[in-house]
Chains A and B, each alone.
Chain A
Amino acid sequence: MPDLSRRSFGGLAAALVLDGCSRAFPKGANGEEQRLNFYNWDTYIGETTLADFSKATGVDVRMSHYANNDELFARLRAGNPGFDVIVPSNEFVTRLQISGMLSPLDHARIPNRANLAPEFVDVPYDPGRRWSMPYTWLALGIGYRKSRVDGVPDSWKWVLDSDRYSGRIGLLAEGDDLIRLGAKYLGHSVNAVTPAIMEQVTQMLIAQKRHVKLFHHDEGQDLLASGEIDLVVEYNGDIAQVMADDDDLAFVIPREGTLINSDCLCVPTGAPRPDNAHRFINYLLDAKVGADIASSIRFPTPNAAALALMPDEYRTNKVIFPSGPAMAKSGYGRFQGIGHIRAVEEAITRVMAA
């Protein structure tokens, strides 16, 4: 399997070291400097994608990283410090957009959007794709160690509401995700969490806490791989990575259904080089480029043309592309207002303090 962690970008790397940060960039035909600031998750791009783009267009891409959506939002909240393209997840596309922090996309400049699979063309969090283009998608599920678990733990019950695996469970420390998954387990929609349901989930989590070993911050795959815990709530792509090293690990989407996320390409308000940004987004949606990225990062791609170029081993991988009735019951988490965020936060503080 390709090495996910290579972050060597050949010429770009050399350029970074050599010119520090002070090079004067020539102007391109579109009147913009021949450069682009890309704000992305770490190791979330093909090995040569940036260098290839630079070769094709003459535009140098400098990539910076953030670790989660909250950081991205907080960083941009006071103003855009110079980023041209960002990669927020679905709910944050909404948050950024209603806060006036995104600029609308000009579809005429993104012809490659025709490559997208139909289910990603029009989505509830961005009707008509005015603000975002999908880059990847991911689903929360349970990663587990086969030899230490009886059968397939295909219900949220085993991590949220049971003492069967007491002391060997790791939960994601994201309050909102936990509450929504709890609601899903109790038979509600992830997008209709009333105060009563939230209280019910909170009480369930408080009761479950003595069986939970830890709350992790998206490093659940490492904890699972090192044997610290035997069941963990994590994203499919993360578990797919450790499964490549360890045959004893597996991943399941619980039968109640789960939360789906999708990371999207957006242009933040105040982007200094909007035309380059559009060219870059269009480039990433190219079939061949999309396939290169997918084979590097091993997350599911929403790009149908790229998928067609991928080997069977990727396309039929049940962890990368979970399917079946559980997925049919799953959906995107929608933004539910600032009152909801605040209530979630207090609920999770109570759980952690209990």
Chain B
Amino acid sequence: MLQRPFQAPGVFAAVGLPPVVWLFALFLAPLAVIWTYSFGENRTLVDIAITGSWGNYARALKPLYLAILLKSMGFAALTTLLCFILGLPVALAITFARPRAKLLLLVAIMLPFWTNLLIRTYALMAILRTEGLINAGLGALWGLVPGLPPFEPLPLINNNFAVVVGLVYVHLPFMVLPLYAALDRLDRSLIEASLDLGAGHLATLWRVVVPLALPGIVSGIIITFIPALGAYLTPDLLGGTNSQMIANVIERQFRSANDWPFGAALSFLLMYLTFAALMVKAIISRREAAR
């Protein structure tokens, strides 16, 4: 049963104050300045007049930008789905591994991510490029079979396929870690009971494990989907000529376009959407908890 603050005021203050104060003083306060810019316009290269106009938002809602936003959401959704499919078995394996293997697997999952993102992306490019590892390997295999026409390298890079591969590569741990956190020390007897009662492993996975791990799955989806939506380096380096994502556009507003007001409007549009979605989620889960 959830407590009211007055039932444990000391605890409430101890766990409530630090994050809330930090959030307001060091996150929302800096952002508030940028938020006011979203209602302003450039007067000179450095002078932003806060005019209170909605012009930047109107511009952000033009079909040109909405189409890019939708496309980015498509990329992010596909990435999230693939990360889930790839990551759930991995999370399960970590969960049911013995302590030493568990640590080993966790580090093995994280290790590639402690190299720099740019370097990692370059490494992925070395694999995918036309004369890269995969094509070289396939070409060698192809050459072993007599009588085939000359090998045509697969177009693995500078297209939307490469962007999704890159996004999955970059975001996989964002899915695996929350799943593992939610699944670990799951009540095993439930799974054993399901198996004993004759349910197959897949059925058990779907009917028992997934519902139990739902909070972890939801948080995994949130922290995979949202950062994937904000990716800009991956589409820049792996993408083709039509792989532009919304973060690339935002990025350019703050840099080459020097248009902070419009960049702010685009950014806050994303934040309004997320805020609304998370708010709805919080209210729904509270209703469910109340039931």
Contacts and interface: CB of A to CB of B under 8 A. Distances in A.
A15 B131 CA distance: 43
Nearest to A352: B244
Nearest to B259: A342
A226 B255 contact: no
Nearest to A77: B46
A137 B252 CA distance: 25
A217 B44 CA distance: 27
Interface string A90-103: 00000100111100
Most central of B45, B241, B249 by chain A CB within 10 Å = B241
B241 A352 contact: yes
A209 interface: yes
Interface string B44-62: 1110000000000000000
Given A70-B258, A338-B258, A345 B244 contact: no
Contacts of B237: 217
B252 A345 contact: yes
A268 to B, nearest CB: 13
B242 A353 contact: yes
Interface residues of B, number: 31
Interface string B242-271: 101000110011111111001000000000
A281 to B, nearest CB: 24
Contact of A213 (B67, B241, B253): B241
Interface residues of A, number: 37
Most central of B248, B253, B258 by chain A CB within 10 Å = B258
A73 B68 CA distance: 27
A95 B45 contact: yes
A338 B244 contact: no
Interface in B70-129: 129
Interface string A325-354: 000000000000010011011101110111
Interface of A: 68, 70-71, 73-74, 77, 95, 98-101, 173-176, 209-210, 212-215, 217, 226-228, 338, 341-342, 344-346, 348-350, 352-354
Given A175-B256, A342-B42, 7 more contacts: A95-B45, A226-B129, A341-B257, A345-B253, A349-B244, A353-B64, A353-B244
Interface of B: 42, 44-46, 64-65, 67-68, 129-131, 157-158, 236-237, 239-242, 244, 248-249, 252-259, 262
14 contacts: A68-B255, A70-B258, A74-B254, A101-B46, A210-B241, A213-B158, A228-B130, A338-B42, A341-B258, A342-B257, A345-B257, A349-B249, A352-B241, A353-B68
